[in-house]
Structure 1
Amino acid sequence: MSDVDRSIRVRAFLEQWLSVLLIAAVVLAAVGGWWSYQVHASPEVERDSVTVGQWSESTAFDHSSVVINDSLVFEEGERVRNRPVYYVNLAEELDVTYAYAHTADEGSVDVTTDVRLVYRGVEGEDVLWQYAEPLASGSDEGVTADENHTVDATVDIDEVFANIDTIERQLGAAGTIEIRVVATSSVEGTLSGQSVSATYESAMPITVTQQTLRVLETETIDESSQQTDTIERVVEPSGLEAAGSVLVFVVGLVGTGGLLIARRRDLIGLSPDEGEILEIHQQEQEFSEWITRGTFPSEREYEATILVDDLEGLVDVAIDTNKRVIKDEQLGVSTVLDGDYVYVYVRPDSPAEDWLVNYADMTMDEFEQFEG
């Protein structure tokens, strides 16, 4: 009898917090339903970018010259190729071949190229003047990866020196003269399914002295391109997500339904006796410093036994008489012994309630009237 039945505590808790628990259960069911819908009916979609086509475009220069004078090193009529230095005494012309190519697996482009010889005077990073003369041009349609677009041009070495002399005579020798073979290509078409429209400029710098013509490092194009496509992939939910979302929804739904049914059938509310028992338990906790566990005497040793209506009243008696409250857990009764009187409070769940009530001589009200 020392503790309250657990079902009473649970029902008291549910009765006190029923509205809050109902709201929480409804919210839980809504969250679980939304989560379950997102997981099963509206799965996550991942978008990945994949390369469906890849190619490169490049340009290059080849150069060569025919030896016109016999020497110990070179034979007359011999063609020397891609040399860093050509000797003026042995060559009249420098032959240049410009090439454009791509590596696309499918598609083709139309290419038009103009090649020109550019003279310019520079001083530091400043360009003082520039003069260009055309060397060659060419165009090809439907250039695929299996073929190159090429343009051949010829640089007349004597004419180069003549132009330099004329420029220096007209302008003076200010700055440094640079010479460049410049090729400009316009590219139009479709490569690997992607439209291409570009203009590329490549250059082959040349320096000259009275004895040599030197080809410097070329400035060419090497462009890589790719065509991408976006693919969508449905992300399958994990087992935890799939089961967890359904579980949250079911728990919320069952909780809501269970609470509503319990309220409708009055399964939650406490009876008057149960409410009193719970109140007694709370009072016992509150007045524990006045209560001592003991055993109710089985024999009449007192002038009168007075019934007290509630435990709080019995504690008041103990305070007034400066006595202890003796609690008999087995009988479910609490007493205060004061001289010839015993004050008794009988719990509503006491197994000896009838006997104890019959045992009493009077109620507390009757005793107070008697005393008065």
Structure 2
Amino acid sequence: MSGVDRSIRVRAFLDQWFAVFLLAAILVAAVGGWWSVQVHATPEVEREEVTVSQWSETTSFEHSSVIVNESLVFNESERVENRPVYYVRLSDELDVTYVYEHTAEEGSVNVTTDMRLLYRGVEGEDVLWQFSEPLASERTTGLTADGNHTVTATVVIEDVFENINTVEQQLGTAGSIEIQIVSSSTVEGTLGGESVSSTYESTMPITVNPQTFRVLETSTIDESGQRTDTIERRVEPSTAEAFGSLLLVLVGIGGVGGLLAARGSGYIDLSADERELLEIHQQEQEFSEWITRGTFPSERDYEATILVDDLEGLVDVAIDTNKRVIKDEQLGVSTVLDGDYIYVFVRPDSPAEDWLVNYADMTMDEFDQFQA
């Protein structure tokens, strides 16, 4: 009789907290069901931006000049191209070609370009004056990636010098003069399925003096474009999510069913004797400092045996008499020995209950012989 059977304590615990456990099991099933719906019925959708087409738009300048005067270096009528320096004594004109093109595989655009020769006086970062002369204007419709938009113009060197001289005569020589060939292109249409409407400006600076005219680094356009679409892709649930959600549902439903079945069958209901044994166990834990485990003695050494109704009362006797409670685990009895008296508390499940109550003056061997 080492204590109350574990099953009694478990059943008592379930009986006490039945409503809480039942609610917890219902919540587990509900959470599992919600999770399962989220995982299986309403899967996660991943959105991604995908480039379906891309293209580029570029502009460029080409320049050349025809040699009009024979020299040791260049032959008359020879055309020299894309040189950084042209010689005034050898050439009269500078021919300029401007090109716009795109690489879009689908779509076309209309391109309109105005080319002009820009003069301006500058001092540091300040622009003192400026004016421009038109050189050429072209329009191309339905331009695809297979073609290009080209504008050609000719700059007469003598005219450039005349314009510079006129400005200096009218304004003086304050600051410095910059000369640029400026091409402004308006692009409208569709490229790669996307509508476009843009204006690009490209420049080709030149400098002149009585001996040479130089082409400086050009400023051109190299733009890129693209069209994107948003695609949706179903994200498959992981194995842990798929099986975990279902397992949670099964655990919750199993818990609810098990608790209701245990309650309905009376499994968790305790009998009166079981409740008394549980109470005794709790009292033993509460008064453990007063109880010593030992062996129940023969009662023939005592004048009287006093049966105590409960363990708490026996502990009170021990406190009043300043004695220890001796607990016999095998017989399931507890005693307080006080002089000629023995105080006895007998557990309901004691195998020696009849002998202790009715045949207290016999030993167990005598009782066995009597029974035989």
Where on the TM-score scale, by shorter chain, does this alignment land: which range?
Answer: over 0.9
**Aligned 1:43-192 pairs, distance under 5 A:** 43-192=43-192
Aligned residue pairs: how many? 361
Amino acid at match of 2:247: L
Q: How does 1:205-354 map to 2 (within 5 A)?
A: 205-298=205-298, 300-354=300-354
Query: For structure 1, which segment, 94-103 or 350-359, has the greater mean C-alpha deviation from structure 2 after superposition?
Result: 350-359
The alignment yields a C-alpha RMSD, in angstroms, of: 1.3
SS of the equivalent of 2:232 reads: strand
1:168, 1:177 → 2: CA distance?
10
For the residue of structure 1 that corresponds to 2:275, the secondary structure is helix
Output the CA distance in 1 between the equivalents of 2:258 and 2:24: 13
TM-score (structure 2 length as normaliser): 0.94
Amino acid at match of 2:100: Y
The residue type paired with residue 338 of structure 1 is D
Partners of 1:307 and 1:360 within 8 A in 2: no
One-letter code of the match for 1:173?
Answer: T
Identity of aligned residues (%): 76
Moved more, 102-111 or 178-187: 102-111
CA deviation string 1:311-332 (max 9, x = no partner): 0100111111111111111111
Q: List per-residue Cα deviations over 1:26-73 (Å, max 9, x = no partner).
A: 221111111110000011110111110011110000000001100111
C-alpha separation in 2, matches of 1:174 and 1:252: 93
- What's the TM-score, normalizing by structure 1? 0.94
Q: Deviations over 1:253-304 (max 9, x none)?
A: 2212322333344332322211221121121112111111111124522111
Q: Work out the CA distance in 1 between the residues paired with 2:219 and 2:304.
A: 124
Deviations 1:208-235 (A, max 9, x none): 1111111000000001111111111101
SS in 2 for 1:180: strand
8 Å Cα contact 1:305-1:359 kept in structure 2: no
Distance 1:94 1:359 in 2: 140
Secondary structure, counterpart of 2:262 in structure 1: helix
Cα distance, 1:360 vs. partner? 5.3
Give the aligned partner of residue 34 of structure 2: 34
SS of residue matched to 1:147: coil
Q: Which amino acid aligns with 1:235?
A: V
For residue 252 of structure 1, report the CA deviation from its aligned partner. 1.4
Moved over 3 A (4+): none
Alpha-carbon separation, structure 2, partners of 1:333 and 1:122: 119
- Equivalent residue number for residue 356 of structure 1: 356
Deviations 1:103-162 (A, max 9, x none): 111221111111011111111111111101110011111111111110101111110111
Gaps of 5+ in 1: 362-372
Q: Which consecutive residues of structure 2, in runs of 5 or more, have no partner in the other structure? A: 362-372
Contact 2:88 2:213 in 1 (8 A): yes
Match of 1:23 in 2: 23
Please give the secondary structure, in 1, of the residue aligned with 2:323: coil
